[in-house]
Amino acid sequence: MFRFFTQNKWFYWSWIGSFIILLSLWIQVQIDVKINNWFGQFYDMIQKALSAPNSITIEEYWASLFSFMSLAALYVGVAVVVSYFTSHYLFRWRTAMVEWYHSVYDKARKIEGASQRVQEDTIKFSRIMESLGTSLIEAVMLLVEFTPILFGLSIGIPIFFFGDWEYGLITGALIWSIGGTLFLVGLGIILRLVGVEYDLQKQEAAYRKILVIAEDDGSIRPKKIDELFDDVRKIHFLSYIRYLYFNIGRIAYLQANVLSAYIFLAPAIVAGVVTLGVMQQIIRAFSKVEGSMQYILKAWPTIIELASVYKRLREFENKLLSVEYNEKKLID
């Protein structure tokens, strides 16, 4: 799966392409930081205008909005370029995988579900990595950039439970985010979500294979096909039940998450020690830090799917290497 990074043929796409993606995401995060600063200035201006009529001019108001539109346009432009380039990057990665599978397909055809691994799982792998990979890198960059911002904004502000402790807001975000993530990761492990996804794909592969064989082999009876589909139905229904329990915890946590920043800022808001602009900056920075630390939580269903795809491809490659080894042993 990772020959993309070891073959000279793919050097420019794998390593230089990775650098371009990282640089583009860093630029995107820097624009996001500037947008966060804009929120503080804009809402302070709004508070000033509401508390003292005619204290700002219409020109100042439009200029502030135009400033945001300029930043937003730049952000959208960079995001579109990153998305477009990443799609090409990951298709090259898929190509590197598929080319090797094609070169050994005379051996691969002996392995059950080989066609599904080569066609379906490689495209799933590239599509999941397209969304998951870039979002993971962006989450790390956001955490690095916004943690100092959140720390700077929260100095001298009373925080629920932590009082005037300068690290209170960051600690609160850390406890809330990591605590919820560990809870749901643990729940996913207990419910064996990765294993269920793997079994589901395995049953689907067996069902698909018997249908293909039945097209050319009239001896395959409908009863046999029905039995395999019954196995598919059972594993699907089992996954629905498992995900029902998982989603109860996941969705409830994400809904409660909306109020977390306001809960921690409650003493400061009630005491009136923060302006509207500073409050907006803190809440936005808090959500960025919190969101970055909750990355695994929010992406958990996709991570499970990727883990299942990786497991199947790794198993397929191990079987291929085993076939090659056994053939060489016979020749020797």
Per-residue pLDDT at 65 exceeds 80 = yes
Higher-pLDDT residue of 214 and 23 is 23
Give pLDDT, residue 326.
67
Q: For tokens 């135009």, what's the residue?
A: 66
Tens-place pLDDT, residues 123-173: 888 888 877 878 888 888 888 888 888 888 887 788 888 888 877 888 888
Among residues 107, 90, 18, 166, which one has the least CA distance to residue 324?
Answer: 107
Tens-place pLDDT, residues 74-85: 999 999 998 899
Q: Is the pTM of this model over 0.75?
A: no
Higher-pLDDT residue of 241 and 292 is 241
User: In this structure, are residues 95 and 59 in contact, taking their beta carbons and an 8 Å threshold?
Assistant: no
Per-residue pLDDT at 332 exceeds 60 = no
Angle, alpha carbons 93-97-102 (nearest 5°): 140
Tens-place pLDDT, residues 91-120: 888 888 888 777 777 776 667 667 777 777
Banded pLDDT at 330 (limits 50, 70, 90): low
Give me the residues paired with residue 163 across strands. Answer: 159
User: In this structure, are residues 30 and 119 in contact, taking their beta carbons and an 8 Å threshold?
Assistant: no
Banded pLDDT at 329 (limits 50, 70, 90): low
Domains and CATH numbers, the chain: 3-331 (1.20.1560.10)
How many residues belong to the chain? 332
Which of 19-23, 131-135, 214-218 is predicted most confidently?
A: 19-23
Banded pLDDT at 262 (limits 50, 70, 90): confident
Give pLDDT, residue 110.
67
Banded pLDDT at 27 (limits 50, 70, 90): very high
Tens-place pLDDT, residues 284-307: 888 888 888 777 667 777 887 788
